[in-house]
Amino acid sequence: MTVFFTRQSDRHLEDIYQFYLSKSVEVAVDIYNQILEEIELLKIQPYMAALEPLLSGRAYPYRGLVIHRLFKVIYYVEEDTIVVADVWDCRQNPAKHSDYLE
């Protein structure tokens, strides 16, 4: 399995990193690495996260991997690729993100 980050997911992951970087370099690096480590686990068990109910009926069966209750990785599996569609802070309104995922 390979992992592909969409432009949006890459940008949002960078936004998370930059936000925490303004607080602490150590915290920013730790959070960034934790997110990437959890995504790496998807290579072994790609269907381990639950289907995203707010994204049902879309072009892909999106799944949401929650990381430390603060972050969610939205992804889908297509053949031998895990496509990371978004990475976002769970403290945001989830409906905000459902509008642009297709």
Per-residue pLDDT of the chain (102 residues; tens, 9 = 90+): 999 999 999 999 999 999 999 999 999 999 999 999 999 999 999 999 999 988 888 889 999 999 988 999 999 999 999 999 999 888 776 666 555 555
* Distance between CA atoms of residues 45 and 51, nearest Å: 14
Domain 2-98, CATH class in plain words? alpha beta
Handedness of CA 92, 98, 100, 102 (dihedral sign): positive
Q: Rounded to an integer, what distance in angstroms lies between the CA atom of residue 58 and that of residue 86?
A: 15
**Annotated domain spans of the chain:** 2-98
